[in-house]
Chain A
Amino acid sequence: LAKTTQPISMDSYEGQEVNITCSHNNIATNDYITWYQQFPSQGPRFIIQGYKTKVTNEVASLFIPADRKSSTLSLPRVSLSDTAVYYCLVETYGGATNKLIFGTGTLLAVQP
């Protein structure tokens, strides 16, 4: 499984765009990149998943460069309610193993 590296924490203000980058230098051909969000006292929840280029949904965008050695989660116009921990996962789609390692994540603190 590819190891991921994220910043431990980030600060932002309401209304700003936030970009959180995750490094995964040894990502394999069949690996997908998935991001989860965890609010205090809750379990993580799925945000977005991608393989290459750009993916966008109602919550966020995910940018993946051609070499796929990193990915950037983009949150447009954050609000106080976006304060959470964001986890980047790299996993082999359809792979036999389900040994999913979350790591420490990035704590995003949004201020008024």
Chain B
Amino acid sequence: NAGVTQTPKFQVLKTGQSMTLQCAQDMNHNSMYWYRQDPGMGLRLIYYSASEGTTDKGEVPNGYNVSRLNKREFSLRLESAAPSQTSVYFCASSEAGGGNTIYFGEGSWLTVV
């Protein structure tokens, strides 16, 4: 079972470069999320998508854009990367509505130099 798949797993960017993190889930979930986790810190919600065609800001949306391409895929874009965006990024998915189990991907390690 693939579950939630993220690509790339590792990436190094120069300041000002752009890139897109891809995420896909094969569990037919309605809701998808992007979190970031800085070293030694907890998870912070960047954006979420309650259902296909909708996206909403989380705790730390500045500097990011998202696209819910279809029910399976939810991408995160950094238009102009900054060193402060160096972090581990986790994509997740769940059935719609609170209280349902959230399934996470393995993470994408991003370094901005």
Contacts and interface: CB of A to CB of B under 8 A. Distances in A.
B33 A100 contact: yes
A96 B100 CA distance: 12
Contacts of B45: 99-102
A94 B31 CA distance: 12
| Interface of chain A, main secondary structure | loop
Contacts of A98: 31, 33, 48, 50, 94, 96-98
Interface string A32-60: 10101000011111100100000000000
Contacts of A41: 107
Interface residues on B, range: 20 to 34
A92 interface: yes
A101 B42 CA distance: 10
A92 B82 CA distance: 35
Contact of B105 (A43, A87, A100, A103): A43
Interface residues on A, range: 20 to 34
Nearest to B3: A43
A25 B97 CA distance: 22
Nearest to A93: B99
Name, among B45, B48, B97, the residue most crowded by chain A CB atoms within 10 Å (CB to CB): B97
Contacts of B102: 36, 44, 46, 100
A101 B107 CA distance: 18
Contacts of B74: none
Interface string B90-108: 1010101111011011110
Nearest to A46: B101
A102 B106 contact: no
B42 A103 contact: yes
Name, among B4, B35, B42, B50, the residue most crowded by chain A CB atoms within 10 Å (CB to CB): B42
Interface in B64-113: 90, 92, 94, 96-99, 101-102, 104-107
Interface of B: 4, 31, 33, 35, 41-45, 48, 50, 56, 58-59, 90, 92, 94, 96-99, 101-102, 104-107
